[in-house]
């Protein structure tokens, strides 16, 4: 059998003219194939950001697993703006575990806007890496954003559920899941493992570094329990991995209205039962038809499950 001829990418051609022509052609594409979407592009994170809002509530002491019990309603009606509705006009409410499990927009918007408040939300999102440069060893990393909510409960409520002024890279949302898994600590993201010479001798090895502390151990443990509920009996059941401990959060971010389109999200962590989680994953699937809270669970969660499962197999 004749083996295929392996060729380098055109942009890696040793003929500089051919490489530049290939680069120019790729840069003209509307799909931006040269962009590292995982760390160079920011998107509305949708309901995956509720993990951040809930964690800030826990760490600030304004939220516990039992209180407040948010009212059952179809929408949060802020005093200074349009109602923030649940998908499909559904009614939901309750305490933290219940509202995360069903991804209740009205409750998390109310949590951010009224229970936690603007000052704490704006300050504490920085503990999760928002509004600061991501220190990854790759070029031109985008800065995750939690923008000015203009002293408006309506704007703050929308931002607290991953809409309006909130944008994140997939890398940053993977960091959010990892922080929950890692007792509240965000590690510095990196690609390099080691540097070797042409004989394979190791010249330099990456040493793990702490980047930020997002929350304390107790808050992280509580959020792990809440994320387990999402996978066990909530919107993220498609991420279940038999024999492993998995916690996650679905997300759907509307990006178009005519026709309705959305981006499907899922973030998760996973590991062996009764051991510290050993993998964190974030998945975004762009340009999905329709808008439904089920989109992230249906489209992105199975992809996240396959990625996490493969890593767990490699880890043994």
Write out the catalytic residue numbers: 47
Residues 6+ apart with CB under 8 A from 84: 75, 76, 77, 78, 105, 106, 109, 154, 157, 158, 161
Distance CA 73, CA 289 (A): 27
Residues 6+ apart with CB under 8 A from 87: 105, 252, 291, 292, 293
C-alpha to C-alpha distances, 212 to 179, 184, 256, 297, nearest whole angstrom: 9, 9, 34, 29
Structure tokens at 28: 């003209």
Q: DSSP readout, 67-95?
A: ---EEEESEE--TTS--EEPGGG--EEES
Distance CA 174, CA 177 (A): 5
C-alpha to C-alpha distances, 176 to 52, 154, 196, 265, nearest whole angstrom: 7, 24, 32, 13
Cβ 157 vs Cβ 185: under 8 Å: no
Cβ 249 vs Cβ 50: under 8 Å: yes
- Spatial CA neighbour of 176 closest among 166, 167, 185: 185
Q: DSSP readout, 9-74?
A: -GGG-SSHHHHHHHHHHHHTSTT-TTS-HHHH--B--GGGGHHHHHHHHHHHTS--SS---EEEES
Distance CA 136, CA 170 (A): 13
């Amino acid at each position: 059998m004749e083996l295929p001829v392996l060729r380098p990418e055109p942009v890696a051609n040793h003929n500089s003219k051919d490489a530049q022509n290939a680069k120019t052609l790729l840069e003209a594409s509307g799909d931006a194939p040269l962009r590292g979407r995982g760390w160079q592009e920011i998107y509305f994170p949708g309901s995956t950001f509720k993990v951040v809002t809930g964690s800030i509530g826990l760490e600030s002491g304004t939220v516990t697993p039992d209180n407040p019990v948010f009212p059952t309603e179809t929408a949060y009606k802020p005093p200074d703006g349009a109602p923030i509705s649940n998908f499909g006009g559904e009614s939901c409410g309750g305490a933290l575990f219940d509202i995360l499990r069903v991804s209740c927009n009205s409750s998390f918007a109310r949590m951010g806007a009224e229970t936690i408040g603007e000052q704490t939300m704006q300050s504490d999102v920085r503990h999760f890496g928002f509004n600061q440069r991501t220190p990854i060893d790759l070029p031109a990393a985008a800065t995750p954003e939690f923008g000015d909510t203009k002293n408006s409960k309506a704007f703050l409520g929308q931002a607290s559920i991953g809409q309006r002024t909130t944008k994140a890279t997939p890398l940053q949302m993977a960091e959010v899941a990892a922080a929950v898994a890692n007792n509240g600590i965000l590690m510095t993201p990196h690609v390099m493992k080691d540097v070797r010479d042409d004989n394979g001798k190791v010249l330099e090895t990456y040493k793990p570094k702490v980047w930020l502390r997002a929350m304390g151990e107790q808050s992280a443990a509580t959020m792990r329990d809440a994320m387990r509920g999402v996978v066990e009996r909530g919107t993220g059941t498609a991420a279940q991995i038999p024999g492993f401990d998995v916690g996650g959060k679905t997300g759907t971010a509307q990006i178009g209205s005519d026709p309705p389109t959305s981006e499907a999200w899922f973030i998760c962590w996973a590991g062996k039962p009764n051991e510290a989680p050993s993998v964190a994953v974030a998945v975004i699937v762009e340009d999905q038809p329709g808008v439904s809270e089920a989109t992230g669970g249906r489209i992105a969660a199975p992809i996240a499950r396959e990625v996490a499962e493969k890593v767990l197999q490699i880890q043994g």
